[in-house]
Amino acid sequence: MGRMLDDLDTRVDHTDSKLRRTTKQLNEFIRKNESEQSSPNRRMDAEGVATRSNWCIGILIVVLIILLLLVILT
Protein backbone atom coordinates (compact mmCIF):
# COMPACT_ATOMS: atom_id res chain seq x y z
CA MET A 1 0.00 0.00 0.00
CA GLY A 2 2.84 2.41 0.86
CA ARG A 3 4.50 1.70 -2.46
CA MET A 4 1.30 2.59 -4.32
CA LEU A 5 1.03 5.86 -2.41
CA ASP A 6 4.67 6.70 -3.18
CA ASP A 7 4.06 5.99 -6.87
CA LEU A 8 0.93 8.17 -6.82
CA ASP A 9 2.81 10.96 -5.06
CA THR A 10 5.57 10.81 -7.67
CA ARG A 11 3.06 10.98 -10.52
CA VAL A 12 1.19 13.87 -8.91
CA ASP A 13 4.45 15.79 -8.46
CA HIS A 14 5.40 15.13 -12.10
CA THR A 15 1.98 16.25 -13.34
CA ASP A 16 2.12 19.36 -11.13
CA SER A 17 5.51 20.23 -12.57
CA LYS A 18 4.22 19.87 -16.14
CA LEU A 19 1.14 21.94 -15.33
CA ARG A 20 3.22 24.75 -13.81
CA ARG A 21 5.56 24.78 -16.81
CA THR A 22 2.65 24.87 -19.26
CA THR A 23 0.91 27.63 -17.30
CA LYS A 24 4.09 29.70 -17.39
CA GLN A 25 4.39 29.19 -21.16
CA LEU A 26 0.76 30.17 -21.71
CA ASN A 27 1.16 33.30 -19.60
CA GLU A 28 4.22 34.29 -21.64
CA PHE A 29 2.29 33.63 -24.87
CA ILE A 30 -0.63 35.78 -23.69
CA ARG A 31 1.69 38.59 -22.61
CA LYS A 32 3.49 38.48 -25.96
CA ASN A 33 0.24 38.63 -27.93
CA GLU A 34 -1.14 41.45 -25.81
CA SER A 35 1.97 43.52 -26.44
CA GLU A 36 1.75 42.83 -30.19
CA GLN A 37 -1.89 43.93 -30.32
CA SER A 38 -1.14 47.19 -28.57
CA SER A 39 1.79 47.90 -30.88
CA PRO A 40 1.39 51.12 -32.93
CA ASN A 41 2.76 49.31 -36.01
CA ARG A 42 -0.32 47.12 -36.21
CA ARG A 43 -2.84 48.48 -38.65
CA MET A 44 -5.74 46.36 -37.47
CA ASP A 45 -8.07 47.73 -34.83
CA ALA A 46 -9.69 45.75 -32.04
CA GLU A 47 -12.86 45.25 -34.09
CA GLY A 48 -10.88 43.71 -36.94
CA VAL A 49 -9.18 41.30 -34.58
CA ALA A 50 -12.51 40.39 -32.97
CA THR A 51 -14.11 39.87 -36.38
CA ARG A 52 -11.28 37.61 -37.50
CA SER A 53 -11.48 35.51 -34.35
CA ASN A 54 -15.28 35.32 -34.64
CA TRP A 55 -14.92 33.98 -38.18
CA CYS A 56 -12.38 31.45 -37.00
CA ILE A 57 -14.65 30.28 -34.18
CA GLY A 58 -17.60 30.03 -36.56
CA ILE A 59 -15.64 27.95 -39.07
CA LEU A 60 -14.41 25.64 -36.31
CA ILE A 61 -17.97 25.16 -35.06
CA VAL A 62 -19.15 24.23 -38.55
CA VAL A 63 -16.29 21.74 -38.95
CA LEU A 64 -17.07 20.19 -35.55
CA ILE A 65 -20.75 19.83 -36.45
CA ILE A 66 -19.84 18.14 -39.73
CA LEU A 67 -17.47 15.75 -37.95
CA LEU A 68 -20.11 15.01 -35.32
CA LEU A 69 -22.68 14.22 -38.01
CA LEU A 70 -20.20 11.94 -39.78
CA VAL A 71 -19.54 10.05 -36.56
CA ILE A 72 -23.25 9.71 -35.77
CA LEU A 73 -24.23 8.63 -39.27
CA THR A 74 -21.49 6.02 -39.71
pLDDT one-digit tens code per residue, 6-48: 988 898 888 989 999 999 998 888 888 777 666 555 555 555 5
Domain that holds residue 59: 45-74
* Helix ranges restricted to H, the chain: 2-37, 46-73
pTM of the model: 0.45
Q: Is the dihedral of CA 66, 71, 72, 73 positive or negative?
A: positive
User: Domain total for the chain?
Assistant: 2
Same domain, yes or no: 53 and 36: no
Same domain, yes or no: 30 and 65: no
Task: Give the N- to C-terminal CA distance of the chain in Å, as an integer.
Answer: 46
pLDDT of residue 49: 59
Same domain, yes or no: 33 and 9: yes
Same domain, yes or no: 3 and 39: yes
